[in-house]
Copies of this chain bind each other. A is one copy, B any other.
Amino acid sequence: MSSLQNRQFKLTSRPVGLVKRSDFEFATSPAPQPGPGEVLVKVLYLSLDPAMRGWMNEGRSYVPPVGLGEVMRAGGVGRVIVSNDPALAVGDYVVGITGVQDYAVAKAGAFTRVDPRLAPLPRYLGALGMPGMTAYFGLLDICDPKPGETVVVSGAAGAVGALVGQIAKIKGCRVVGIAGGPDKCRYLTEELGFDAEIDYKSEDVPKALRQHCPKGIDVYFDNVGGEILEAALAQLVLKARVSLCGAISQYNNIEGIQGPRNYLSLLINRARMEGFIVFDYAARFPEGVKAIAGWLAEGKLKAREDIVEGLETFPETLLKLYSGENFGKLVIKVADE
């Protein structure tokens, strides 16, 4: 096994604003040997997530920051090629935190087996992975949408947003998606069945929200923060629920985060804004996976991945998230299955 060469992206400086290639060291070294109870996994696909930007910052958050000199944290799907634990066999496909590298070593229990016959492997990083669980629990558990209610979701063509909107449709809601550009917007209404779409790159979002939500907004699922959050808060109805999933518009702000200047809309409307972290629902992931897999199988839910080839593209591919260039769940293909 010593002949296996492991390419790794190690974080070497804390990015200021947008991530740069020079914030990482991209080096090759021999793949590590798994110890007792450990497995060696060959990484096939890596998940690129908006939250990665936050993991690179110092300071308190819901997970510790990636340390300087450490391999950049990432979820991935791979194949077990050495196993020192009977729980996993060579040839098994698994999902887990692999890091941005070709080979990952960890305790067998750190990985979950997945079945490539039930779904394409990248989907375990999307609809059947963290984005799916995020959409499922962040919408249903935090917002409890009722049939007939108006649900607005931002980042609506992204990995989480597209699922949020579709799940809200399944629950009988009127769904308005906010996304950037005509292709993504068309996708929301024509492919995913959203009731209306708003192109934040070309439309006046406050005006479009008033138009498409004539009765106001009952549920707002926020992936983006900034001015779109403010526009949504301005249209809340009584007892509205706002789910704070992310704030991708703000992650690369050098001047600091923009707070919602109209947060008192929560007071006037007796509304609620609540944050959540998907990992808190780990014990209920089987419920979420079962529901989403069922809807996928019935054709009620569509999943889409945006696959970029090559581990070496990591820094530039990650930037696609923040410029809004990705279309569906953004994944790097590291190696052939």
Which positions in A face B, CB cutoff 8 Å?
60-62, 225, 230, 244-247, 250, 256-277, 280
Contact = CB atoms under 8 A, between A and B. Distances in A.
Given A257-B264, A266-B273, 7 more contacts: A61-B268, A244-B263, A246-B267, A257-B263, A259-B259, A259-B262, A263-B263
A260 B258 contact: no
Contact of A260 (B245, B247, B260, B272): B260
18 contacts: A60-B268, A62-B267, A225-B264, A230-B259, A244-B266, A245-B267, A247-B264, A247-B267, A257-B263, A258-B261, A259-B259, A259-B262, A259-B263, A263-B273, A266-B273, A271-B274, A271-B275, A272-B274
Contacts of A230: 259
A244 B13 CA distance: 39
Contacts of A61: 268
B270 A280 contact: yes
**Integer count of this chain's copies in the complex:** 2
A264 B54 CA distance: 11
Nearest to A233: B259
Contacts of A271: 274-275
Contacts of A273: 263, 266, 272-274
Contacts of A266: 244, 273-275
A62 B274 CA distance: 22
Contacts of A272: 272-275
A38 B76 CA distance: 74
A262 B245 CA distance: 14
Nearest to A236: B275
Nearest to A242: B273
Contacts of A257: 261-264
A273 B245 CA distance: 14
Contacts of A267: 62, 244-247, 275-277
A272 B276 CA distance: 9
A269 B276 CA distance: 7
Centre residue among A258, A264, A266 by max chain B CB count within 10 A: A264
Nearest to A60: B268
Contacts of A277: 267-268, 270
Q: Which 4 A-B pairs have the closest CB atoms?
A: A259-B259, A267-B275, A266-B275, A259-B261
A245 B270 CA distance: 10
